[in-house]
Homo-oligomer: A and B are copies of this chain.
Amino acid sequence: MNVYIHPDPNEYEKLIQRPALNTTDVSGIVSEIFDRVRREGDTAINKYTSHFDHVELKSFVVSPSEIETAAKLISKKLITAIQVAKKNIEKFHRSQKEKTKAIETTKGVYCWRESRPVQKIGIYIPGGTAPLFSTVLMLCIPARLAGCKEIIICTPPDPTGNIHPAILYCAGILGIETIYKVGGIQAIAAMTLGTNTIPKVDKIFGPGNQYVTAAKQAAQQKGVAIDMPAGPSEVLIIADQSADPEFVAADLLSQAEHGTDSQVILLSDDPEIVDRIIREVEKQLVFLPRKETVQQAFIHSRAIVLKSIKDCVEFSNMYAPEHLILATKNPKKLIPLIHHAGSVFLGRYSCESAGDYASGTNHTLPTNGYARNYSGVSLDSFVKKITFQNLTKKGIVNIGPSVETMAEAEQLMAHKNAVTIRIKKIKSQK
């Protein structure tokens, strides 16, 4: 961890830089795979699965019996844990439902909004070493609450052609029956273009590596919405001298274990607590199975001491972290000062892993500074809001003349006429 004591504000710009992303241009392979999936459909999917996932599948459709069996393949303890998480995620996301309220903007002019679900949702769950079943919960629960009609999951098969039972179990308890053993660019291409087996969707959600990210961008260019742009995970912790070094160290480590490109940033007004936290990091690190990953992530991580906690919050706003932990004496006082962050964790008992799994908030959050202009996933991500308006006779008579004047000034005479013709008729009826 690189330590900076009272750096010059001119250096801030450098200090908020993310680790350089792997900038290999993957657009060639993305358009090649999209092209082939468009032309050959399922045949292309099978070819790419064999090529990239090194497995020949009889069918890439997960069978009902595979989903049924899943519950028997995971521990009772894990089932209970998942149920706790599910309950909390449901409770928090259900609270995001909006009530319809009509506003009478002018006498006789009623306007309101109503939510409608996005109908076809495609969810991508990455493969790799860890089975990200928690992401199944985080994406499928709000999709279900929103009332989305068709929810499909694509996730790459392991070398034996299977999907981790925890992923299937989470999908199963949420009533998701359409799961495909397809990963990578070809999964995103299939959900964007449709094949004989995999339906075209309206919106694609889910994390992934740089290939999946590039494929999602290509999907967006083709009219499919996506959850948000993606980048490596990150945490920024603001700790004052009241912080518990053990807790802060554990939080820094838990972010760093996500990947070598994860970034952890520690801010404080107190060099001593920084020192104690760093020593504690070294102590805890020894016991971690992902030690090498963590150590590599720490190469581009920073501990920065600034003049005050307020300065730390300002710096954090410049960085716009995905996760922001306030390990300070009175974290609630800092809330109004926070302008950009994905999710904020207040005080010593609100660790990031609580939000990653089970507190109820969503863990799909804007990274890479996107917290400046994007929200994390919520119920809102699965609905559109339609505006409605209802004008009475009185309503059109009241605002009609303004509409006529503005339409004329914009040289849109038919727009004006649509009002004129109505007002004329209303007056002739009197």
Interface residues of A (CB under 8 A from B): 74, 77-78, 80-82, 84-85, 87-88, 91-92, 95-96, 98, 101, 103, 105-106, 109, 111, 113-114, 116-119, 129-134, 166, 202-203, 217, 220-221, 223-225, 229, 244, 246-247, 250-251, 253-254, 256-258, 284, 287-290, 294, 331-332, 335, 338-362, 366, 368-376, 378, 380, 383-393, 395-396, 399-407, 409-419, 421-422, 425
How far apart are A351's CB and chain B's nearest CB, in angstroms?
4
Q: Which residues of B contact A361 (CB under 8 A)?
A: 111, 387, 389
Does the CB pair B254–A166 fall under 8 Å?
Answer: no
Does the CB pair A359–B414 fall under 8 Å?
Answer: no
Give complex CA distance A251, B391 in Å: 15
Q: Which residues of B contact A217 (CB under 8 A)?
A: 221
Q: Which residue of B lies closest to A95 (CB)?
A: B103
Q: Which residue of B lies closest to A294 (CB)?
A: B414
Does the CB pair B385–A380 fall under 8 Å?
Answer: yes
Q: A130-B411, A254-B412, A257-B412 are in contact. Are A354 and B391 (CB under 8 A)?
A: yes
Q: Which residues of B contact A370 (CB under 8 A)?
A: 223
Contact with A353, one of B348, B395, B416 (Cβ below 8 angstroms): B416
Q: Could you jot down 12 A-B contacts, CB within 8 Å?
A: A80-B402, A84-B106, A92-B105, A119-B339, A129-B411, A134-B410, A244-B425, A254-B412, A284-B417, A345-B389, A353-B418, A378-B385
Q: Which residue of B lies closest to A324 (CB)?
A: B386
Does the CB pair A399–B358 fall under 8 Å?
Answer: yes
Main DSSP-derived SS at the A contact region: mixed
Does the CB pair B113–A378 fall under 8 Å?
Answer: yes
Does the CB pair A133–B409 fall under 8 Å?
Answer: yes
Q: Which residues of B contact A388 (CB under 8 A)?
A: 335, 343-344, 346
Does the CB pair A399–B359 fall under 8 Å?
Answer: yes
Q: Which residues of B contact A390 (CB under 8 A)?
A: 331-332, 346-347, 350
Does the CB pair A118–B353 fall under 8 Å?
Answer: no
Q: Which residues of B contact A130 (CB under 8 A)?
A: 410-412
How far apart are A276's CB and chain B's nearest CB, in angstroms?
15
As for how many copies of this chain the complex holds, the number is: 2
Does the CB pair B402–A81 fall under 8 Å?
Answer: yes
Does the CB pair B389–A349 fall under 8 Å?
Answer: no
Does the CB pair A254–B417 fall under 8 Å?
Answer: yes
Does the CB pair B353–A371 fall under 8 Å?
Answer: no
Contact with A357, one of B225, B345, B407 (Cβ below 8 angstroms): B407
How far apart are A381's CB and chain B's nearest CB, in angstroms?
10
Q: Which residues of B contact A203 (CB under 8 A)?
A: 373
Does the CB pair B78–A349 fall under 8 Å?
Answer: no
Does the CB pair B384–A417 fall under 8 Å?
Answer: no
Contact with A417, one of B250, B342, B395, B413 (Cβ below 8 angstroms): B250
Does the CB pair B410–A132 fall under 8 Å?
Answer: yes
Q: Which residues of B contact A85 (CB under 8 A)?
A: 402, 406
Most chain B C-beta atoms within 10 Å of own C-beta, residue among A84, A224, A335: A84
Does the CB pair A399–B257 fall under 8 Å?
Answer: no
Q: A350-B389, A403-B358 are in contact. Are A253 and B81 (CB under 8 A)?
A: no
Q: Which residues of B contact A290 (CB under 8 A)?
A: 412-414
Q: Which residue of B lies closest to A353 (CB)?
A: B415
Give complex CA distance A415, B407 in Å: 59
Does the CB pair A339–B116 fall under 8 Å?
Answer: yes
Q: Which residues of B contact A369 (CB under 8 A)?
A: 223
Q: Which residue of B lies closest to A250 (CB)?
A: B418
Contact with A386, one of B113, B223, B331, B338 (Cβ below 8 angstroms): B338
Does the CB pair B406–A359 fall under 8 Å?
Answer: no
Give complex CA distance A363, B290 in Å: 52
Q: Which residues of B contact A116 (CB under 8 A)?
A: 338-340
